[in-house]
A and B are shown apart, each in its own frame.
Chain A
Amino acid sequence: MDSTAEKITELQGYKLHVIATEKYKTNTFVWRMKAPLTKEDVTKRALLPHVLQSSSAKHTSTAALRSYLDELYGATLYVDLAKKGEYHVMSVSLEIANEKFLSDPAPLLKKGFELLSEILTNPNASGNAFDQDTVEKEKRVLKSRIQSVFDDKMRYSNVRLLEEMCKDEPYALQVNGEASDVDAITPENLYEYYQKAFSEDEMDLYVIGDVKEEEVRQLAGQLLQFENRTPKKIQTEKSAARSNVNEVKEEQDVKQGKLNIGYRTNIVYGDPDYFALQVFNGVFGGFSHSKLFINVREKASLAYYAASRLESHKGLMLVMSGIDLKNYDQAVGIIHEQMDAMKKGDFTDQELEQTKAVIQNQIMETVDTARGLTEILYHNVVADTTISLDTWMNEMNKVTKEEITAVAEKIQLDTIYFLTGTEAGK
């Protein structure tokens, strides 16, 4: 598995992760910044990377910056936000062609690196404020980004489940922040937050492609230097179990009902039984051979999709399915039966082996893409662990039936959320 040989170097203020591989025709940079998820900062963090990527001191308009990217053989630059447990992670990614495959020998790796550094450290700002026009435009777009969740019912119902389930926990916050907090952001207070984030966040840079580690380290050392810091860690408190299942129904004008069920797994990435939890999820609902797909879709014909997934750093398992409004009770009943079957160990060796084979395949495929590889490696940063991919696979493959039923005992049903139609009550 040499493609995942990750070389980590501690540089000034951040860690550099270099993965040298000949697989790709492009080189990829991913810059990540992580801080605890808080109501106070979440909206500013959701805005900040979008302001940074829209222009810089050297390329003072979006048109100028984007023209320069086109000139660099259509280098892509994009930002995104993610919740990893109760951390909020900002990412800035840049992917640029490897000139080896072009007739033009311009040194693109260096130019890409310089541009990334420009975006991060030399923003379009004067004094202690970002460019006002840029901030106002991006505030407008942030508001529409937050609003658009409502229009995508699959996403909306997932967001609503988490809001209901994690009511008094930071995890209920939306990844793009809160619409009502956007207006209060100014070019000045955002700039202040920018300086704070770059001096306090835990920061990591991934560079993946046909690169020389030494060269990357030198460039990184020259182009990106920050103050050293001790990153803030969150204290995860295991939330108390509910005495009653929280059942929420919301009516909207929809044709298909969205059923989302949240469980507390009480297990997070880095725990010894995390690997058993992965296999549990695979047997229960992760794949097209899993109990949920077979019983909700194939046997009962109730749904097109019925699946579960893990939120590894928060300790949640989330089930989702789209069903006819009238089939709520039947679908919930079938899902409960599958969970009971898991608790009783009512699954075959074949289901177990099949699941391990598919999980192994999924991981191996994920690390074939630069993006997927950084996602997987970043788990170690979030959980402050050093689990190698080999260890991950070995441990997962060793999981026994008993370990899975032990995991099942820890899993608690928390909230059932149903987005139903206005016709359903009739």
Chain B
Amino acid sequence: MEKITFDQLQEELFHEKMSNGLNVYILPKKGFNKTYCTFTTKYGSVDNTFVPLGKDEYVKVPDGIAHFLEHKLFEKEDGDVFQQFSRQGASANAFTSFTRTAYLFSSTSDVEKNLETLVDFVQSPYFSEKTVEKEKGIIGQEITMYDDNPDWRLYFGLIQNLYQNHPVKIDIAGTIESIAEIDKDWLYECYNTFYHPSNMLLFIVGPVDPEKIMTQVRENQAKKDYKAMPEIKRKFEEEPTQAAEKKQVLQMNVQTSKTLLGIKALHVDQTGEVLLKNELTMNVLLDLLFGKSSDNYNKLYDEGLVDETFSYDYTQEQGFGFAMVGGDTEEPDKLSDRLKQMLLDANQGSVFNDEQLARAKKKKIGAFLRAVNSPEYIANQFTRYAFNDMNLFDVVPTLEKITLQDLQTLASEVISEERFSVCQVIPKQK
């Protein structure tokens, strides 16, 4: 077990790689009641074309299967694992993203027992025809719930505009039609390919004794017979750098219009420190352009084009990435045009000064401190960073290194009209 110390933050992190390849991290948090624990596989909705374990040919799986699998893993021959967690006073959950599936619990007592339950249930799949069919009704209602949600439709509509081929454009839960194709054999095939310990990360944060917890996990894993696993082969089609569609307007049962402008990212093959610096630079750029203290935001607010729902965000993962900015507005076209112009203006050379950059960095450093108050943030973000060969605790030092030149270079590369796209939700015309 190695110990990594972060002096300024006054935190210690413990790490060990198990002999089956599982990476385990423990961050003790004194004074907290809660222990929060995530067990995550590097497998999400975008991993839909791959060579299944023990086979030679690529297969394409039904849309929504990673998420379906997440639901079904909780069910065992003798009942539902949720029940077991609640008997042990824990609250359990799971989520599926584009690139990860995470299983988690939080508890303020019986941590060892709950940890054992978490690791064991994720490592012992039980899928049957009957329970797979039953789940289709439940997930069907989850899909319909999102269908009625204008913010979700707007977000996914924009991704679909930006991407031509990449499976990031497929809704994480799939569709009623696509999940109809899922059966237990598909689930086992995905499980066997992606749930090997060497493709997974276990993170424990809370008032725990790291030595004791690490020993427990080591003993637990030693009891299980995992064979070494060949590298997982995933396939993604070639993706153009420009946006697939310029604009999409969705008519829905709403009273307020919404608009979201997206920029398709470049350099989506980055990993490690390069990716970390790139995404932090992009975040600082967006803060300077659209943050509440920015000229742009205040102009738009004063003109009545935006309200408090206005927001911006940047996502970058292996193979895809996008910046998004927008919100509720009475004039969706005018707002989209203004946002485009503001971005294009920023690409015309240096628009920021050192003082603004220093302030933006201070803001991000404070936000990081606030974030590490949260066990959920630490576990989930650390895992995401690790899967991209980055380290969450490098955020502040990397941030400090960003220069005006970095901002300018990134702005001039990424901000380009051919990579813009707009998605809008407007009230349904009678």
Chain A, interface size category, equals 35 or more
A256 touches B8 (CB 8 A): no
A245 sits at the interface (CB 8 A): no
A-contacting residues, B323-381, CB 8 Å: 328, 330, 359-360, 362-367, 369-370, 372-375
Task: Please give me the residue from chain B that is nearest to A209 by CB atom.
Answer: B373
Task: Please give me the residue from chain B that is nearest to A325 by CB atom.
Answer: B144
B139 sits at the interface (CB 8 A): yes
Among A71, A150, A255, A361, which residue has its beta carbon within 8 angstroms of that of B90?
A361
Which A residues are in CB contact (< 8 Å) with B311?
none
Which B residues are in CB contact (< 8 Å) with A69?
293, 363
- State the CA gap A150–B362 with chains docked (Å): 38
Asked whether A25 and B83 contact (CB < 8 A) given A61-B298, A70-B291, A297-B138, the answer is no
- State the CA gap A133–B301 with chains docked (Å): 11
Among A62, A67, A74, which residue has its beta carbon within 8 angstroms of that of B366?
A74
B365 touches A74 (CB 8 A): yes
- State the CA gap A368–B308 with chains docked (Å): 28
Task: Please give me the residue from chain A that is nearest to B370 by CB atom.
Answer: A26
- State the CA gap A25–B396 with chains docked (Å): 15
B108 touches A364 (CB 8 A): yes
Within the complex, the shortest CB–CB distance from A62 to chain B, in Å, comes to: 6
Among B82, B301, B366, B369, which residue has its beta carbon within 8 angstroms of that of A289?
B82
Among B31, B141, B142, which residue has its beta carbon within 8 angstroms of that of A22?
B31
Which A residues are in CB contact (< 8 Å) with B150?
151
B86 touches A289 (CB 8 A): yes
- State the CA gap A301–B360 with chains docked (Å): 49
B183 sits at the interface (CB 8 A): no
Within the complex, the shortest CB–CB distance from A135 to chain B, in Å, comes to: 13
- State the CA gap A75–B362 with chains docked (Å): 10
A150 touches B144 (CB 8 A): no
Which B residues are in CB contact (< 8 Å) with A358?
86, 89-91
B359 touches A63 (CB 8 A): no
Within the complex, the shortest CB–CB distance from A299 to chain B, in Å, comes to: 9
A-contacting residues, B250-282, CB 8 Å: 253-256
Asked whether A304 and B138 contact (CB < 8 A) given A62-B292, A73-B366, A145-B308, the answer is yes
Which B residues are in CB contact (< 8 Å) with A304?
138-139, 141-142, 145
Within the complex, the shortest CB–CB distance from B167 to chain A, in Å, comes to: 23
B219 sits at the interface (CB 8 A): no
A232 sits at the interface (CB 8 A): no
A22 touches B367 (CB 8 A): no
A414 sits at the interface (CB 8 A): no
A253 touches B33 (CB 8 A): no
B362 touches A71 (CB 8 A): yes
Stretch at the interface among A136-144, A198-206, A219-227: A136-144
Contact flags B290-310 to A (C-beta < 8 A → 1, else 0): 011111011001101001110
Asked whether A141 and B106 contact (CB < 8 A) given A151-B255, A255-B148, the answer is no
Stretch at the interface among A9-17, A81-89, A97-105, A311-319: A97-105
A121 sits at the interface (CB 8 A): no
Most central of A69, A147, A323, A364 by chain B CB within 10 Å: A364
Among B34, B80, B139, B147, which residue has its beta carbon within 8 angstroms of that of A364?
B34
B362 touches A73 (CB 8 A): yes
Among B31, B137, B372, which residue has its beta carbon within 8 angstroms of that of A3?
B31
A324 touches B108 (CB 8 A): no
Chain B, interface size category, equals 35 or more
Among A74, A297, A301, A367, which residue has its beta carbon within 8 angstroms of that of B364?
A74
B109 sits at the interface (CB 8 A): yes
B137 touches A368 (CB 8 A): no
A151 touches B256 (CB 8 A): yes
- State the CA gap A274–B360 with chains docked (Å): 48
Which B residues are in CB contact (< 8 Å) with A61?
298
Most central of A67, A73, A150, A302 by chain B CB within 10 Å: A73
B292 touches A66 (CB 8 A): yes
Among B83, B86, B298, B372, which residue has its beta carbon within 8 angstroms of that of A63?
B298
Task: Please give me the residue from chain A that is nearest to B107 by CB atom.
Answer: A361
Most central of A95, A305, A365 by chain B CB within 10 Å: A365
Among B256, B294, B369, which residue has its beta carbon within 8 angstroms of that of A25?
B369
Task: Please give me the residue from chain A that is nearest to B135 by CB atom.
Answer: A301
Most central of B295, B366, B369 by chain A CB within 10 Å: B366
A256 touches B141 (CB 8 A): yes
B428 sits at the interface (CB 8 A): yes
A-contacting residues, B88-141, CB 8 Å: 88-92, 106-109, 134-141
- State the CA gap A358–B307 with chains docked (Å): 39
Which B residues are in CB contact (< 8 Å) with A25?
9, 369-370, 372-373
- State the CA gap A360–B134 with chains docked (Å): 32
Among B32, B90, B145, B254, which residue has its beta carbon within 8 angstroms of that of A322?
B145
B235 sits at the interface (CB 8 A): no
Among B139, B148, B328, which residue has its beta carbon within 8 angstroms of that of A144?
B328
- State the CA gap A364–B31 with chains docked (Å): 12
Within the complex, the shortest CB–CB distance from A380 to chain B, in Å, comes to: 20
Asked whether A97 and B366 contact (CB < 8 A) given A141-B307, A289-B83, A301-B137, the answer is yes
B30 sits at the interface (CB 8 A): yes
Give 8 A-B pairs besides A63-B298, A70-B363, A76-B370 with Cβ atoms closer than 8 angstroms. A26-B369, A61-B298, A144-B328, A144-B330, A255-B148, A304-B139, A357-B87, A357-B89
A-B pairs, 7 with minimum CB distance:
A301-B137, A73-B366, A74-B366, A74-B363, A357-B89, A66-B293, A364-B108
Q: Identify 18 residue pairs between A and B in the complex whose beta-carbon atoms are under 8 Å apart, listed by A's number.
A: A22-B31, A23-B30, A25-B370, A70-B293, A70-B362, A72-B366, A97-B369, A137-B301, A144-B307, A150-B255, A256-B144, A289-B86, A289-B87, A324-B144, A358-B86, A360-B89, A361-B90, A365-B106
User: Which residues of B pack against A, CB within 8 Å?
Assistant: 8-10, 29-34, 80, 82-83, 86-92, 106-109, 134-142, 144-145, 147-150, 253-256, 291-295, 297-298, 301-302, 304, 307-309, 328, 330, 359-360, 362-367, 369-370, 372-375, 428
